[in-house]
Every structure is written in C-alpha cells, then in structure tokens.
Amino acid sequence: MLSSLGGAFARRGVAPEAAAVRRPPSLVYRISKNAGAMVGVALLGLVVILAILAPFIMPYDPLYIDTTQKFLAPGAAHWFGTDELGRDVLSRVIDGTRISFYVAFTVLVISAGIGVALGAVSGYRGGLTDEVVMRVADIFFAFPSFLLAMAIVAALGPSIENAIIAIGISWWPRYARLLRGQILSVRNQAFVDAARTLGATDWRILRQHILPNCLAPLMVQLTMDAGTAILTAASLSFIGLGAGPEVAEWGSMVARGREFIVSYWWVPTFPGLAISLTVAGYMFLGDGLRDLLDPQLRNRVSI
C-alpha cells in the first residue's frame, strides 16, 4: 500500500514528504483569488490612503470659509468645486474619510463589545442568564434599529458622538445573538469537554477553546456592519441628528447640498459618491470573507 502511494506521488512529480506537509492556502492568498473581496480591498485601500494622507494632500483647509468663492464649478483650482460657503468640496470629502473610519471603529467597539460579552456569557452559562439576556435582546429587536438610534440621539442631543453611542447601543443584540448561536453549537464538543475535565476554568475555556472557533462569522458581521455604521451615521446627519453643518462629515455635506442639487450638483454628489464607494468596499469585502470562511459555501463553490 505504501509503495503504491509513493509510486502515485512519484508519477505526479510530488514527493511523498512534500505531500504530507502541504498546508492549505492562507486566508490572504484565498482573498487574493476572490474577485469580490479584492474589489473591496481596493476600494477600502483607497479610502485608507486618503485618511492617512489627508493632512498632506488636502489642497485647502476644509473649514475655511470664503464667500467670494462660493458655488464654483469643478475646475483646475477646485477639482470638486466649492459649496455655499466657499469651502473646497474635495478637501472636505478627504477630511471626511477620517471621520468615517472613526465612526465605523467606535460603533463596532461599542456594539460588539457589549454584544460579544453578553452573548458569550448567555451561550455558555445557559439557564436563567441566557433567558434574561435574550429577552432583553428581543426588546431591542422589537424596534427598528434606525428608529431606536433616532430616539436615543433625540434624547441625548444631536452630535456625531451621540449618534455613534446611539448606533452602538441599538446594534449590540445582533452580536449577542450571533455569538450565542455559535457558542451553543460548540460548547458541548469533545475538545471543550476535555478541557473541562482537565480542570480548565470557564474563562479559559471560553477564551482559548470556544471563542477562537466563533471568529469567522463574527469577522464577516463586523466587516459588513462597518459600512452600515457609516451609512447609518450619515443618515442621522442627513436628518439633522448627527454631525453639525460645520463638520466635514459626508452625511451632513449631502444634507446641506441637497438644496442646491439642481443648480450646483457637485455639492451633494461627491460626498454621496464617497459614502457609496466606502460602503460598497465593506460589503464586497464582507461578502468575500463570508464565501471564504463559511465551510458550506466553500464546499458548494468547490463542487
């Protein structure tokens, strides 16, 4: 049997030792072979570069007001034109990239931080703890998340910081339920029972054995929610519950420019395109990660 296997490897030009140690391709390599994921990486890479280099590549101060230069059409001096206060639209769009990443990161830290902690405890402990956490989550799910965020911002006061807090609070149940479901599927596996038999504490079992096996769906959810967080914050700013008109935030810029869209189309169009491309980048990347990390989808594609 062994000689026949060795002969088969030899005929294929592969040494038996090399075949034995061959490892599956890394996640980075598989992402590079996924067209949708690469589109997302390219779009987000552009936004990241703009955010990092913003102080050096902005042609003008995004907050500088010059009413003698208002409503200038896109041209050599102002590539994206100027708005109703004479501010350079390109500079404000570039400056908005930093705000968008700040919004996405902070919203995910709040919502995932609360949701992962409660979901982990709920799924692992079960019983009364699980029942209480899930019923509280159901109360939050009873309200549309955007309307709930609107109500929280209205109570706290309109600002970009309060909008971030409101979105984070309204989103935690989705992470709690996601992680709870993942933990329920692995908490009774043999490797968890073995760790428990060897005397591992609950915290160690969760941290070293259960949570690492739940990261794939969590990564996909975080990636896709990052784009949705930017879109939701922009929507709150659009209706006057987010960033103020003086802040170079894309939603606020679109809200201010909608009054002039017929005569001065460039004022709301370019920040709107920035929102669309950034959200699309997160969605493409999230879809690609889901295809690569979901075993069922991966097997279906390979068939």
* Assigned token pair, 73: 């059409």
Q: Is 266 exposed, middle or buried (0-12, 13-18, 19+ CB in 10 A)?
A: buried
Which among 221, 227, 217, 226 has a CA at the least distance from the CA of 297? 217
Q: Are 299 and 52 in contact (CB under 8 A)?
A: no
Query: Measuring CA to CA, which residue among 276, 218, 231, 221 is closest to residue 104?
Result: 231
CB atoms within 10 A of CB 128: 8
The residue ranges of every structural domain in the chain are 1-30, 34-302
Cβ 273 vs Cβ 288: under 8 Å: no
Q: What is the pLDDT of residue 27?
A: 63
pLDDT reported for residue 259: 87
HSE-up of residue 278 (Cα within 13 Å, Cβ side): 32
Helix%, strand%, coil% for the chain, nearest 5: 75, 0, 25
Q: Tell me what pLDDT residue 19 has.
A: 46
Low-confidence ranges of the chain (pLDDT < 70): 1-27, 29, 294-303
Report the alpha-carbon distance of residue 237 to residue 177 in Å, rounded: 29
Q: How many residues does the chain have?
A: 303
Please provide residue 88's backbone torsions phi and psi, each rounded to the nearest 5 degrees: -75, 120
* Token couple for 126: 């079960």
Q: Is the dihedral of CA 215, 221, 227, 232 positive or negative?
A: negative
What is the CATH superfamily name and number for domain 34-302? MetI-like (1.10.3720.10)
